[in-house]
Structure 1
Amino acid sequence: MMSKILFSALLAVAALSSVPATHAHTAGDSVKPNFSHAIPNIPGKSLVAVEVSYPPGGASQPHTHAKSAFIYAYVVSGSIESQVNDQPAHVYTAGQAFYEEPGAHHRISRNASKTEPAKLLAVFVVDTADTALTTPQDAGEGR
């Protein structure tokens, strides 16, 4: 029998993957669930991973993640330009990583190349009960 925590984590991934592109992500990116599991020694927390793929020139709209989420992002291929909060924008290439603190505003997340695709793996440590992993924002929100 599946535990309630694991079931909730799977619901979180399902919610992320079933949200229409205009609500969580734009036509400039695609998100695919990769992994989800409750963390057995941290009650109420889960590890959720998603693959974010960008076509050449593709981008996500500015967004925040679940307020409980600590996120580790690893660039699998290509190059990703990212700006979190008021930090300077930075381009990360394949093999490099960055993180987002809980409550951070991800102002820029896009493929840095106009000719090559890019992919990153985003790993969330998140409250199991949080089902809305990504919330889009207008560029001026979250300041």
Structure 2
Amino acid sequence: MKFTKLALSASLILLCLTSQASDNEKRPHETVTPNFMREIPNIPGKSMITAVVTYPPKGASPSHHHAKSAFIYAFVLEGEIRSSVDGSAPRIYKAGESWYEDPGAHHTVSENASDSKPARLLAVFIVDTGDKQLTVPDGQ
């Protein structure tokens, strides 16, 4: 089954829309920009999806889980990102640093560590090809 641009758009729009729901509506939200999507030819049933996540100063994502099949690699492109996964102590990752999230991980903190400068990261998902909703805010 080949992915179309429509499927890419639909999946990443869901990523964007679900990441907008937040218990803290006063903080600026992240912006998610679709980057790449492709079935992995030598791993049947798996696809790679990438997106650039941009946080304005003081920006944050709500606490969330990703698709249960999703293995995620995050690489900081610009600025500093504060992140905590599965109850780990929050850590600040600077441009050039990275982390990963195992399938089913709980991402409790994902935010710009700066009050004055933007931050960006590249999120790389290895996910079951049929998964449509990549991000689910807590409580949904």
Q: TM-score, normalised by structure 1?
A: 0.86
Alpha-carbon distance in structure 2 between the residues aligned to 1:43 and 1:133: 19
Matches within 5 A, 1:7-46: 7=4, 11=7, 13-19=8-14, 23-25=18-20, 27-46=28-47
Matches within 5 A, 1:31-110: 31-110=32-111
Kindly provide the CA deviation profile for residues 75-129 of structure 1, in whole angstroms up to 9, marking residues without a partner as x. Answer: 0000000000111110000000000000000000000000000000000000000
Alpha-carbon distance in structure 1 between the residues aligned to 2:44 and 2:78: 34
1:5 maps to: 2
Letter in structure 2 aligned against 1:95: G
Asked if 1 retains the 8 angstrom alpha-carbon contact of 2:80 and 2:113, the reply is yes
Alpha-carbon distance in structure 1 between the residues aligned to 2:16 and 2:35: 18
Q: Any unmatched runs of 5+ in structure 1?
A: none
Query: Identity over the aligned pairs, expressed in percent?
Result: 48
What's the RMSD between the two structures over aligned residues? 2.0
Q: Any unmatched runs of 5+ in structure 2?
A: 22-27
Alpha-carbon distance in structure 1 between the residues aligned to 2:131 and 2:115: 34
2:2 counterpart SS class:
helix
Alpha-carbon distance in structure 1 between the residues aligned to 2:71 and 2:18: 21
Q: CA, structure 1 residues 23+6, in 2 after alignment: closer, same or farther (shift >3 Å)? A: closer
In the TM superposition, what is the alpha-carbon distance from 1:61 to its structure 2 partner? Answer: 0.3
1:19 counterpart SS class:
helix
Alpha-carbon distance in structure 2 between the residues aligned to 1:95 and 1:20: 24
Alpha-carbon distance in structure 2 between the residues aligned to 1:22 and 1:46: 21
Alpha-carbon distance in structure 2 between the residues aligned to 1:31 and 1:126: 17
In the TM superposition, what is the alpha-carbon distance from 1:14 to its structure 2 partner? Answer: 1.7
Kindly provide the CA deviation profile for residues 20-77 of structure 1, in whole angstroms up to 9, marking residues without a partner as x. Answer: 9563235510001000000000000000001000000000000110000000000000
The number of aligned residues is: 134
